[in-house]
Amino acid sequence: MFEILQIVTAILAIVALSLALAHALELPGKMRLAKEAYFAMQPIYYPGFTVGGAIGEFGGLIFTLVLLLFTPWQTTEFWLTLVALLGLMGMQAVYWLFTHPVNQFWLEGENLSRFSSGFFSLGANRSPHATDWTALRNQWEYSHVARAGLALVSAIALVIAISVHSHS
């Protein structure tokens, strides 16, 4: 049962990595877009990335915490799983501090579902007040690069933990 928990956790972390990496890989092309094209493009991510993020990031975070609780203390697997958890927590911190406030700006005036509307209104008082769209673009784009890096660390740590467990 422990091995199944490890595999499901790794899959969820890889889903989180996939979404963040997709955003990061778009950065070079999106940085060349004019303001109008960039603004037109931003809403295409919703609801797909919102649903995927809920499954991969939130699910990965919860499953990694549960996995850590069932991993023997002070083993290599434990420390690797802790690294993975810290990476996923870091992803959340970057999202809520840097990405989410800009998401609220991009989605102003969009017709969102009830769930999405509620989600994106969280922390509405933290909406960015910057008027320079390039500052908002840079914050959004580079926050996804940081999130992809944290997700990569988490996914690698979980895969190595699985490998260590299978060899013990």
Which amino acid, residue 66? V
Amino acid 151: pLDDT: 98
Torsion angle (degrees, nearest 10) of CA 141, 147, 148, 152 = 170
Domain locations in the chain as residue ranges: 2-166
- For 151, other C-beta atoms within 10 Å of its C-beta total 28
Contacts of 141 (CB under 8 A, 6+ apart): 23, 27, 30, 31
pTM of the model: 0.89
- The pLDDT value recorded for residue 130 is 60
Per-residue pLDDT at 82: 98
CB 57 within 8 A of CB 92: yes
* Residues lower than pLDDT 50 in the chain: none
